[in-house]
Amino acid sequence: MSLRGGAIMAIVAAAALWAGEHGIHPRPTPDDYPARETAKGFTLAAAVLTPEQVKKRFATDLNKGYIAVEVGVFPEKDHEVTLAAKDFMARFGAESEIERPMSPQTIAARLGKKDANPTNPDVPSKVHVYTAETVGYEHGTAGPNGRSQGGVYTGTTTGVGVGDPPYPPPPAQTSSSGMDRTSIQLELDDFSLPEHAITEDTGGYLYFAKPAKGKSAPLHLIYYGEQGKIELTVPMK
């Protein structure tokens, strides 16, 4: 197995290891969110992150076409709530169409673009040098709140090819945000609202395509799951 193939397998294994650990620690109470509603056995709360908050909380540049909705789920004592992204929908303004959450895989595929113009210094004929900047996201150990903690890493790789062009391309695919597709997907997966039954306060993000101009306020977040239907009107700054 090649070195690159081994690295990809390691990333896939890490993703499998952390499956089920998605999400973030919720805010202390539902009242700490700008919108909340209580249904059968639980309270659903939500907030739309501002572009400035997105920059602080994500390495991925979600501001290029997406919004992040922070969701908090607060079950009552002895109640279980089953969560799934497919149970959520959104409308931006009163007249817009229903939108479904975007999956981390879809967003990563759209933001992770291949670098088509690598920089190559002038070198003797038939010897070709290329460099590639790599920015990625890696998982860490569990933090004090029990959630996984990851971080962004950077690095530079250099390769040499001998012979007539074409010679080996840079090994990384880079995005407009400087992160490769796998790293984007891992980060967004990590912070996504968990998709399983919960009995404790839980938080996470849902991702939606940014609405067209004139359809940005407010956000109507709709939950339609096993516990019935809830609709929140969430302000957008």
Q: Which run of H or of E encompasses 128?
A: strand 127-142
Determine phi and psi for 41, rounding to 5 degrees: 90, 5
Count Cβ atoms within 10 A of the Cβ of residue 168 and give its class: 0-12 exposed, 13-18 middle, 19 or more buried. exposed
Chain-centre distance of CA 109, in angstroms? 12
Question: How many angstroms separate the CA atoms of 103 and 175, rounded?
Answer: 17
Question: How many angstroms separate the CA atoms of 85 and 204, rounded?
Answer: 11
Domain ranges of the chain: 3-109+191-234, 113-184
pLDDT category of residue 147 using cuts at 50, 70 and 90: low
pLDDT category of residue 226 using cuts at 50, 70 and 90: confident
In this predicted structure, what is the pLDDT of residue 29?
97
In this predicted structure, what is the pLDDT of residue 118?
45
Question: How many angstroms separate the CA atoms of 110 and 131, rounded?
Answer: 24
Chain-centre distance of CA 208, in angstroms? 11
In this predicted structure, what is the pLDDT of residue 17?
37
pLDDT category of residue 14 using cuts at 50, 70 and 90: very low
- Residue range 63-73: average pLDDT? 96
In this predicted structure, what is the pLDDT of residue 172?
46
- Residue range 85-102: average pLDDT? 88
Question: How many angstroms separate the CA atoms of 68 and 49, rounded?
Answer: 6
In this predicted structure, what is the pLDDT of residue 20?
47
Please tell me the least confidently modeled range out of 78-87, 89-98, 123-132. 123-132
Average pLDDT taken over every residue of the chain:
76
Tokens of 158: 């250099």
Determine phi and psi for 90, rounding to 5 degrees: -145, 150
Which CATH entry fits the domain spanning 3-109+191-234: 1.10.3470, 2.60.40, 2.60.290, 1.10.4160? 2.60.40
Which of the given ranges, 40-44, 110-114, 142-146, 204-208, has the highest pLDDT on average? 204-208
- Taking the CA of residue 155 as centre, how many other CA atoms within 13 Å lie in the half-sphere pointing to its CB? 11
99: DSSP letter: B
pLDDT category of residue 216 using cuts at 50, 70 and 90: low
In this predicted structure, what is the pLDDT of residue 207?
98
Residue-wise pLDDT for 156-215, tens only, equals 554 555 555 454 444 444 444 568 899 999 999 999 999 999 999 999 999 999 987 755
Are 52 and 79 in contact by the 8 Å Cβ rule? The answer is no
Question: How many angstroms separate the CA atoms of 74 and 44, rounded?
Answer: 6
In this predicted structure, what is the pLDDT of residue 138?
58
Residue-wise pLDDT for 158-175, tens only, equals 455 555 545 444 444 444
Reply yes or no on whether the pLDDT at 48 is more than 80: yes
